[in-house]
A and B are shown apart, each in its own frame.
Chain A
Amino acid sequence: MERYKILPHTADGKFQAYGTTLEEAFGNAALATASLMWDWTKVEPRLRHFVHFRGFDREQLLVKFLGETIYLFETKQFLLGKVDGLRIRPEFEGFSLEALLGGDTLADRYPIYGVVKAVTYHDLKIEECGGFTVQVVVDM
């Protein structure tokens, strides 16, 4: 199964990411976000960042999780190349997510061809039909 598909959108970046589980779809959404900025398949996972988020619903959780790719890039020059051990758990009010993000520090061998500046709720969809599909529009 393909991980994600980039879709046309007038102002910015839009994609759908797929997974047999919600976790897999969220992980692929992070890679799709990275794919708008660099070729994540070429990034060697030399460094790891553990991340943990809570959201009152799955949509908020997804927006916060994807925002981490931008935050780590802008503040630590970290290029995401891999998502491991992603787990989503229901909580008393909402959901929590944890994951281990693998990647490397920005270097000449990793060309950057775009910048995602924010993750939006515009046209955001999380759908279950056999597997999971998440659709996201990002501000570029």
Chain B
Amino acid sequence: MDLRKISDNVWEIPKQGEMKVPAVIYSSARLLDDIRRDMTLTQARNVACLPGIERMSYVMPDAHQGYGFPIGGVAAFDLDSGIISPGGVGYDINCGVRLLKTDYTETDVAGKRKELLAEIFKEVPAGVGKGGVTKLSRGVLKEILVKGAEWAVENGYGRKEDLERTEEYGRMKDAAADAVSDRAMERGIPQLGTLGSGNHFLEIQKVHEIYDEVAARAFGIRAAGQVLVMIHCGSRGFGHQVATDYIEVMENAFGVQGLPDRELVHAPFKSPQGQQYYRSMCAAVNYAFANRQMIAHWVRDVFARILGTSKGMDQVYDVCHNVAKVETHEAGGRSRRLVVHRKGATRSFGPGRPEIPECYRSVGQPVIIPGSMGTASFILAGTQEAEGLSFSSTAHGAGRVMSRHEAVRRFRGERIRDDLARKGIELKSTNWKGVAEEAAEAYKDVDEVVRVSHAVGLGRLVAKVVPIGVMKG
């Protein structure tokens, strides 16, 4: 494909053929080698052809091939002439990451690490086919879909302060439970409050290095060795069913003729189908916020029980990786409301944005970028430049480079556990095959992903954290 180098970390697919705008790829030459190997660039070009797209079709440094849109793809559409697409959000709606800080240091937990992990493993349901601990009624689920993390806090899961440290304050207000199918409700009921499987994990981590003292302090991160907890999961079967349902609804309403890929099916944002998908998607976002809120509560309980208190365990932030939101951005020389799709991308609002809580408004929002299982993760801060570069978005993780199939052929879960143990990382899992699938070698180098993000200005490096205990679903 015709790819033009703009600078060391910026590449462009010029506007051609059906493209309404160019595509821009934020990547180093090294990461681009991986990106070129699959369909990422073709998918970014397909996105650039969609009706009402504004500015550019953007590709983040960790991008890889997805369904329809690439994972690591960002695109914004005009509210009147533009579209909304389930393929631009992904199946795991509001797959995301929550980070809790603690007042404990590595030394404080040294002798209790195994116990902490074992107890968290008992408290947080995880793994394949595992139901949640709460038997929900349909009525309660509907309330959760509307209220998100607020419902969880009202029902004793966590603290009120957690809400302001959650994207959207833990609740997307446009959610409507009546736009959600029975099948989605049925899949959602048994899975609330579960971690799930696949690439989802829960880690006890320690701060390895701080790059930006001022932002780190604002985020509650003080020094190397400080213990943190990271929770990575999403909306489980519920979100997958919402995506599946609305792909069918949009196919039936608008047909599939002329689509280069059926996963790119879309509806005008203001059409009934577009609005129903948007409201159901918001419900799935809320489901995932409630899910992470409950899991965070159980983690705090375990820390309190084993170490005496969970007092200092404030939430740093909770970010969405797969979402479409109506936001104000500059486009066509003026400030406008657009529907921004972030699929495998994190919002990266810089200092001053009114959407981020007061406590972070001078440094930018925390951006949490998990590495692959058992490797380093990073905390970044949102930047003002990201607005112009990517509708305020950056990377979301490491990104796969090897198939699950190949990873299982090459690696053994038990062996990975032993290797991690030698590095001082405890691992517990329900499924050793799942561990093999998530081997670090199956992923891109997350250090390079965040280096590019920082160099381009999509997100500013604040701290590097490393795991000391890993729970894998």
| Contact B261–A121 (Cβ < 8 Å) | yes
Which residue of the partner chain, among A57, A73, A74, A119, contacts B244 with CB atoms under 8 Å? Answer: A119
Sort chain A's interface into a size bin: 35 or more
Contact string against B for A residues 114-125, beta-carbon threshold 8 Å, 1 for contact and 0 otherwise: 110111111010
Known A74-B191, A112-B129, A122-B263: A117·B406 in contact at CB below 8 Å: no
The segment from B136-144, B219-227, B281-289, B396-404 that touches chain A is B396-404
Minimum Cβ distance to chain B for residue A7 (Å): 8
> A57 → chain B, closest Cβ, in Å?
8
Name the distance in Å between A140's Cβ and chain B's nearest Cβ.
6
A98 at the interface (CB under 8 A from B): no
Interface readout for B255-282 with A: 1 if CB under 8 Å, 0 if not?
0100001110000000000000000000
Q: How far is A13 from B400 in the complex, measured between Cα atoms in Å?
A: 13
* Residues on the A chain within 8 Å of B240, using CB: 117-118, 139
Pair B128/A115 contact, Cβ less than 8 Å: yes
CB pair A121–B263 under 8 Å, yes or no, is yes
Q: How far is the CB of B164 from chain A (nearest CB, A)?
A: 31
Assess whether B183 is in contact with A115, with CB atoms less than 8 Å apart: no
> Cβ of A122: which chain B residues have Cβ within 8 Å of it?
67-68, 261, 263
How far apart sit A71 and B251, CA to CA, in the bound complex (Å)?
Answer: 21
Interface size class of B (residues with CB under 8 A): 35 or more
Find the A residue at minimum CB distance from B131: A77
Which A residues, 22 to 42, have Cβ-Cβ distances below 8 Å to chain B?
A: 37
User: In chain A, residues 1-49, which have Cβ atoms closer than 8 Å to a Cβ of chain B?
Assistant: 6-13, 37
Is B115 an interface position by the 8 A CB rule? no
| B405 pairs with A74, CB closer than 8 A | no
* CA of A74 to CA of B92, assembled, Å: 15
Closest CB in chain B relative to A103 CB, distance in Å: 14
B65 near A11: Cβ-Cβ < 8 Å: yes
Interface residue? B117 (CB, 8 A): no
Dominant secondary structure of chain A at its interface with chain B: loop
Distance of A113 Cα from B237 Cα, bound (Å): 17
Is B252's CB under 8 angstroms from A37's CB?
no
Nearest opposing residue in chain A for B403, CB measure: A8
Asked, given contacts A37-B128, A75-B190, A118-B243, whether A59 binds B91 with beta carbons under 8 Å apart, the answer is no
Q: Which 3 pairs of residues, A with B, have the shortest CB-CB distance?
A: A121-B262, A8-B403, A75-B186
Q: A74-B187, A139-B67 are in contact. List 17 more A-B contacts (CB 8 A).
A: A8-B406, A9-B403, A9-B404, A10-B403, A11-B66, A75-B183, A112-B128, A112-B129, A113-B431, A115-B198, A118-B244, A120-B67, A121-B261, A121-B262, A122-B68, A137-B67, A140-B404
17 pairs of residues in contact across A and B, judged by CB atoms under 8 Å: A8-B405, A10-B402, A11-B65, A63-B248, A75-B183, A75-B186, A106-B129, A112-B128, A114-B128, A114-B434, A115-B128, A115-B196, A120-B91, A121-B262, A121-B263, A137-B67, A140-B198
Residues of B within 8 A of A (CB): 38, 64-68, 71, 91-92, 128-129, 183, 186-187, 190-191, 196-198, 237, 240-241, 243-244, 247-248, 251-252, 256, 261-263, 400-406, 431, 433-434
Chain A interface residues (CB < 8 Å from chain B) = 6-13, 37, 56-57, 59-60, 63-64, 67, 70-71, 73-75, 77, 106, 112-115, 117-122, 124, 137, 139-140
